[in-house]
Amino acid sequence: MAKKKENKQNPVQWFFLVIVVPTVFALTLLLVVLMVMGVNVFQKAEEVASKTPIVSQWVSTTEEKDAQRETDRLEAVISENDSEIEQLEAQNSDKEAAIDELNQTIEKLEAQLESSAEDEDEEEETDRAAEMARSFQEMDEEEAAPIIENMDETLAIDLLEKINSDQRGAILGVMEAETAAELTSLITGPR
């Protein structure tokens, strides 16, 4: 029985000693010889494996790895550029808002400047009209009436309003009736 057991183990040992060990030794020796000759065995094996239909799914070539690395790098660059674009758009909208705010401030200041200029002009005209009214009060009615008749209606009305009522009545009394009536209706009526 002991001989039968040895015989059963012998074929397995025989297989390893006769087939597997010499095959591994021969492959190692072939690998060393090819490497000494300058052949890149691993690259050749990769090329052959990539062309073999079923094995090509498990093995990726250097070109595929390089392409994948390049794709990953480009995706990272795109992502970085997208975030930079978003940041610049946010800065742009902030600056546009600041510009709009400054434009509104400019418009307000221009309106205030225009208003104050108009007020100054009105004050100046009022001061001139008051000064002219004082001059006409010091004049004789016969001298003042023809001058006021030939003035612009608006200026004539402003002057007559600033002159005291007795003097105004005397000046209107010396004027032509038609002109006096027209000026009186403009003074008393709505403007």
3-class state of residue 52 by DSSP: coil
Distance CA 176, CA 149 (A): 8
CA atoms within 13 A on the CB side of 119: 6
Task: Kindly state whether residue 4 falls inside one of the protein's structural domains.
Answer: no
Contacts of 19 (CB under 8 A, 6+ apart): none
Its pTM surpasses 0.75: no
**Residues 79, 113 within the same domain:** yes
CB 160 within 8 A of CB 187: yes
Task: Kindly state whether residue 180 falls inside one of the protein's structural domains.
Answer: yes
Contacts of 21 (CB under 8 A, 6+ apart): none
Task: Kindly state whether residue 131 falls inside one of the protein's structural domains.
Answer: no
* Final residue of a structural domain among 33, 59, 85: 59
Task: Kindly state whether residue 149 falls inside one of the protein's structural domains.
Answer: yes
CB 128 within 8 A of CB 154: no
Distance CA 179, CA 177 (A): 6
Residue 68 has what pLDDT?
84
Cα four-point dihedral sign 79, 80, 83, 88: negative
- How many domains does the chain contain in total? 3
Residue 84 has what pLDDT?
94
Say which residue the tokens 């039968």 belong to: 4
**Residues 52, 70 within the same domain:** no
Residue 8 has what pLDDT?
54
CB 186 within 8 A of CB 159: no
Task: Kindly state whether residue 186 falls inside one of the protein's structural domains.
Answer: yes
Residue 191 has what pLDDT?
55
Helical residues (DSSP H) of 57-152, grouped into ranges: 62-138, 141-149
Q: Considering only CA atoms, which of 170, 176, 179 is closest in space to residue 138?
A: 170
CB 50 within 8 A of CB 43: no
What residues make up the domain containing 190? 139-191
Task: Kindly state whether residue 183 falls inside one of the protein's structural domains.
Answer: yes
From residue 9, alpha-carbon distances to 2, 19, 21, 23, 71 in Å are 11, 15, 17, 21, 55
**Digits of tens for pLDDT over the chain (191 positions)?**
455 555 556 778 888 888 889 999 998 998 899 889 888 888 887 777 777 777 666 666 666 777 788 899 999 999 999 999 999 999 999 999 999 999 998 899 888 888 888 877 777 777 777 777 787 778 888 888 888 888 888 888 888 888 888 888 888 888 888 888 888 888 887 65
Task: Kindly state whether residue 112 falls inside one of the protein's structural domains.
Answer: yes
